[in-house]
Amino acid sequence: MNTKSTTRSSPTEHPDPLTGLPGIVRSSLSDNSTITAAAGIRISAFGFPSDFGIRVSGLASLCLALAACVSLTGCGAFKPAHDTARHFVLTPLPAAGLEKVAPGALAVGVAQVKLPAYLFDTSLAIRKGTNEIEYLPSVFWAERLDTGVQRVLAANLATLLPTDQIRLSAWRSGEVAAEVYVVINQFEVDSTGRAVLAAWWRILSPGGEKTLKAGESRLSRQGPSPDTSPSGAVATLSELVAELSRQLAQALKEPPLASRHSSSQP
């Protein structure tokens, strides 16, 4: 009686050479062939189990989509933010109305203007209440405000007075007949566009030996809102400096300055 012998292959676990995951190798004693299976686990193209492969494939697709978006359209989210800062200066009166320069014209020195500390900030100051100030984040002064006010006062006085002898900051006592000093206490607009300039001023004899004139000015003017028209708000502030200049020019034309200047003529 012939006895038929059958050989059953025994499964043996071996690590897969590509993935390092355990696979099942079935050995056949009859033909010594091997078949590598994935032990019921599908392997993705990335060398991970299919669950992970699905996730990685989704991530890869997302990365490719983002790369295409950036390279072809330059997605707005990745564009650099544009600089929206704007810089302004105060402007003097137009020179069209210049007074005719008289012989031996009055020489005037305009000293550095003093400002409160809250106006040292380079941003435009906005009055929010009795004791609250905020600064417009994208609107800046292009020069120091005290320097700007002094510059515009001097230019305005040169327009309003029959003189071309206006000195700034440093002069010898013999070079001027009058010295102008201005201390500003308030200079800003509110959110509605109402601008205010409050200042003390003095006109001194050469060397500051004597006070010839002194006064207080509180000026206001309605203009456009700084939020919608910052250039209009700055123009309103320039108009207030022009009004202060007119008051100073009038004081310089009156006695005792006028008589003092006349007596100094040959």
Q: Domains of the chain, with CATH numbers?
A: 11-75 (no CATH), 86-263 (3.40.50.10610)
Residue 221 has pLDDT above 90, yes or no: yes
What is the rounded distance in angstroms from the CA atom of residue 51 to the CA atom of residue 241?
A: 75
Q: Which residue has the higher pLDDT, 143 or 32?
A: 143
Of 201, 220, 221, give the one whose Cα is nearest residue 211: 201
Which of 47-56, 138-147, 151-160, 251-260 bottoms out in mean pLDDT, i.e. has the lowest?
Answer: 47-56
- What pLDDT is stored for residue 258 in this prediction? 58
Which of 59-63, 72-76, 240-244 bottoms out in mean pLDDT, i.e. has the lowest?
Answer: 72-76
Give bridge partners of residue 202 from the DSSP assignment: 181, 214
What letter represents residue 154's amino acid?
A
With cut-offs at 50, 70 and 90, classify the pLDDT of residue 62.
low
Structure tokens at 191: 């959110």
Residue 106 has pLDDT above 80, yes or no: yes
Q: What percent of the chain has pLDDT over 90?
A: 53
- What pLDDT is stored for residue 41 in this prediction? 46
Q: What percent of the chain has pLDDT over 70?
A: 62
Sequence-distant (≥ 6) Cβ neighbours of residue 72 within 8 angstroms: none
Other C-beta atoms lying within 10 Å of the C-beta of residue 160:
20
Cα distance from N-terminal residue to C-terminal residue, the chain: 158
- What pLDDT is stored for residue 180 in this prediction? 96
What is the rounded distance in angstroms from the CA atom of residue 265 to the CA atom of residue 104?
A: 7
Q: What is the mean pLDDT of the chain?
A: 79
Structure tokens at 37: 């299976």
Question: What phi, psi does 197 have (nearest 5°)?
Answer: -130, 120
Of 60, 35, 62, give the one whose Cα is nearest residue 46: 60
pTM over 0.75: no
Of 8, 33, 34, 38, give the one whose Cα is nearest residue 23: 38
- What pLDDT is stored for residue 20 in this prediction? 55
pLDDT digits (tens, 9 = 90+) for 162-175: 888 899 988 887 88
- What pLDDT is stored for residue 163 in this prediction? 87
Preceding amide of 256 cis, omega within 30: yes
What is the rounded distance in angstroms from the CA atom of residue 120 to the CA atom of residue 156?
A: 23
Structure tokens at 121: 């900030």
What is the rounded distance in angstroms from the CA atom of residue 121 to the CA atom of residue 123?
A: 5
- What pLDDT is stored for residue 241 in this prediction? 98
Is residue 143 within 8 Å of 110, Cβ to Cβ? no
